Structure 1
Amino acid sequence: MAVAARLRSAGARLVVGPAAMAVGRGGGEGRWMGTATAEAAGAAAGIARWEPMGAREYYDYRRAIYGDITHKAILVDAAGTLLAPTEPMAQVYRTIGEKYGVNYSEDEILMRYRRAYAQPWGRSRLRYVDDGRPFWQHIVSSSTGCSDLQYFEELYQYYTTAKAWRLCDPDAKYVFEALRKAGVKTAVVSNFDTRLRPLLQALNCDHWFDAVAVSAEVAVEKPNPTIFLKACEFLGVKPEEAVHIGDDRRNDLWGARDAGCDAWLWGSDVYSFKENQAHIIKSGLQCRSQKGSELRCKESFVRWVT
């Protein structure tokens, strides 16, 4: 207790239990969220090792409940986690727009896009209603200064094709197949318009998932917990039995936790779907890559050694 007091006085905050699983630099019980000053205080207090034992204990606890898995379901964000554009948005807007008279630079388009996207959208909090055309027409014209409907339609249709998107993780197919084989249910949870389903089909990954909860269909957007609860309902699991992976701290991390799910931040807590598999399935520490060679999935929780 004296050590904890000294750490807190130096600016550290100790987060205990599963609610801390995806926050900060360490993992699980006593997760480290301190400063360099606090680290020095920890060393001065004689702490030789600051290990995420609580993380492992938490996973062991969940496996004691669910068997060899920590979660019965995995929920995945689409854009930025499962999928990414093959080319920068501003480049596509400019390249296609040149024949329609668009003369803004890519930097200008990006700046105007961000400004337009951040603005409140009408009276509704939903940006993507049905096919999302009114919202995207506003975004395209605001970003490029071009209101030509033919230009908009060409852009809109382009982003429905497999050419416009790629998988963030080339091993995703094998991981989701292994998860489903182990009995883990899978779903996509995304703020997207109704193009998402045909897009997943075009990328030949729609069959990886047992359900899709898209904001345009359930009429609610992340971080509203309702969309996560809907996904759990579609899968037939309780929120506490699911973990969500996404790249946005507000929409994905906070939203999922408000719904009662676990949550891991893509690009911070986990960097690949192999890591997700390793955490969820006990035997998942050995994952097979596309070439069939076995790769050991490293733990995503960092150890601090003084």
Structure 2
Amino acid sequence: MGLQGIKAIFFDLDNTLVDTAAAGRRAIEEVINVLQSEHHCDEEEARMICDKVQAKLLKECHDPSKMCITDLRIQHWEEAIQETKGGIANHHLAAECYFLWKTTRLQHLTLAEETRRMLSDLRKVVRLLLLTNGDTQTQREKIEACACQPYFDAIVVGGEQKEEKPASSIFHHCCELLGVQPEDCVMVGDSLDTDIQGGLNAGLKATIWINKAVTAPKGTFPLPHYIISSVLDLPGLLQNRKDTSLEINKVAGICSV
């Protein structure tokens, strides 16, 4: 497969192996429907509540020693409902919205059959590791929901470590788990700030950025070694090398930076 010189591939989870964004959108639409049908919100109010929650999630800073992720996220919904509708805080409604959102999102987090086949094929020749940032409870629930555990030699969740991506320490920890050196490893992910920067920080052999547009926007930083439009393009990228090493910015048939 042209994988000589590569001993391990690290994969991100969210929006790399599973479409978390799409699952999240379906979950939000379910909450909007319930707010309208059961809680006397008009569509504008329901969407405003959900928009506020999503904004809070994007800015979320979670310290598990102070509050569990469930309480924090119910608080997001409670604040969003009160900010939109006024009046006293409605903890019961907030909890209902949160658990509906969470349950629906997990139901729609699936590891596609073609992705399963790809991982199975790759694992015959290299070691595979799942490396995901985030709260332990949240990420472990996602991992269980998409049933991806059997496809990896190891799974590392950032919330369980001293540092998350892009810190080099978590990547070096992954290398130690697999008994490989950074220069033997490749990082595949959708985030420039965490996956690509982290792989560069740790001195991995190559970083592969998943970007649906395939071409990099002007001024892209950090600069990944390769760009593919889908994780399913990874085997083709590896197979198309004329030599046995991944060489920066030279991919046959695939636009790179």
TM-score higher than 0.5: yes
Matched, 1:192 2:156: no
Q: What is residue 260 of structure 1 aligned with on the other side?
A: 203
1:91 is aligned, of 29, 33, 44, to 29
Q: What is residue 301 of structure 1 aligned with on the other side?
A: 255
Change in CA separation of 1:117 and 1:154 when aligned onto 2, cut-off 3 Å: closer
In 2, the alpha carbon distance for the partners of 1:256 and 1:263 equals 6
In 2, the alpha carbon distance for the partners of 1:256 and 1:202 equals 27
Matched, 1:154 2:112: no
Aligned-pair distance for 1:96?
4.2
Matched, 1:276 2:234: yes
Matches within 5 A, 1:1-306: 68-84=3-19, 85-86=22-23, 88=25, 89-98=27-36, 99-100=38-39, 103=42, 105=44, 107-109=47-49, 111-119=51-59, 121=61, 124=63, 132-145=69-82, 147-148=91-92, 149-159=95-105, 161=106, 163-167=107-111, 170-182=113-125, 184-193=126-135, 194-261=137-204, 262-267=206-211, 268=214, 269-280=227-238, 299-301=253-255
Amino acid paired to 1:117: L
Kept in 2, the 8 Å contact 1:69–1:281? The answer is no
Change in CA separation of 1:110 and 1:70 when aligned onto 2, cut-off 3 Å: farther
In 2, the alpha carbon distance for the partners of 1:176 and 1:70 equals 18
SS of the equivalent of 1:83 reads coil
SS of the equivalent of 2:91 reads coil
Aligned-pair distance for 1:279?
3.3
Amino acid paired to 2:134: F
Q: What is residue 247 of structure 2 aligned with on the other side?
A: none
Aligned-pair distance for 1:302?
5.3
In 1, the alpha carbon distance for the partners of 2:123 and 2:146 equals 19
Aligned-pair distance for 1:147?
3.4
In 2, the alpha carbon distance for the partners of 1:130 and 1:70 equals 44
Encode CA deviations 1:239-291: one digit per residue, 9 max, x unaligned.
222111111111211122112222111123112334322333579xxxxxxxx
Change in CA separation of 1:136 and 1:95 when aligned onto 2, cut-off 3 Å: same
SS of the equivalent of 1:165 reads coil
Larger Rg: 1
Amino acid paired to 2:231: F
Kept in 2, the 8 Å contact 1:116–1:142? The answer is no
Structure 1 segments unaligned to the other structure (5+ residues) = 1-62, 284-296
SS of the equivalent of 2:110 reads strand
Aligned-pair distance for 1:83?
0.9
In 2, the alpha carbon distance for the partners of 1:241 and 1:171 equals 26
Change in CA separation of 1:131 and 1:272 when aligned onto 2, cut-off 3 Å: farther
| Identical residues among aligned pairs (%) | 20
Amino acid paired to 1:116: K
Aligned-residue Cα RMSD (Å) equals 3.5
Structure 2 segments unaligned to the other structure (5+ residues) = 83-89, 215-226, 242-250
* TM-score in terms of structure 2 length: 0.69
Number of aligned residues: 219
In 2, the alpha carbon distance for the partners of 1:139 and 1:234 equals 36
SS of the equivalent of 2:130 reads strand
Kept in 1, the 8 Å contact 2:187–2:208? The answer is yes
SS of the equivalent of 1:86 reads helix
Aligned-pair distance for 1:144?
4.3
